[in-house]
């Protein structure tokens, strides 16, 4: 199975939604080791998971495209999925 990198772009203003987004990814891949979650943005709440990599961006990179590029450069998967922090993946 190919490894999937989920790149979540956030500004840290919706911690509840971000938490739900991360949990929905975990639910869908509960029996798989072939995924990672990258969270790119600033003011990111602490999320305790071995699958989550937080990429803080305090610079002037406030634009969505720049943050997507940062996530792309840090991803290690074969497939890259970009999403906002308010996306809930269905089971």
DSSP 24: H
CB of 82 closer than 8 Å to CB of 64: no
pTM: 0.87
* pLDDT 10s digits, 31-90: 788 999 999 988 788 888 889 998 876 665 567 788 888 899 999 999 999 999 999 999
Q: Are 47 and 54 spatial neighbours (Cβ–Cβ below 8 Å)?
A: yes
CA distance 39 to 71: 8
Please, which residues have CB within 8 angstroms of residue 14's CB and are 6 or more apart in sequence?
A: 85, 86
Helix (H, G, I), strand (E, B) or coil at 68: helix
Total residues found in the chain within this entry: 91
Task: Report the pLDDT value the prediction gives residue 53, as an integer from 0 to 100.
Answer: 92
Contact 67, 9 (CB under 8 A): yes
């Amino acid at each position: 199975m190919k490894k999937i990198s989920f790149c979540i772009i956030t500004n840290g203003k919706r911690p509840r939604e971000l938490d739900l987004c991360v949990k929905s990814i975990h639910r869908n891949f509960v029996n798989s080791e072939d995924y990672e979650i990258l969270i790119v943005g600033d003011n990111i709440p602490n999320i305790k998971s071995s699958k989550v990599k937080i990429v803080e961006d305090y610079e002037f990179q406030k634009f969505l495209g720049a943050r997507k590029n940062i996530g792309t450069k840090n991803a290690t998967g074969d497939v890259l999925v970009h999403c906002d922090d308010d996306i809930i993946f269905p089971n």
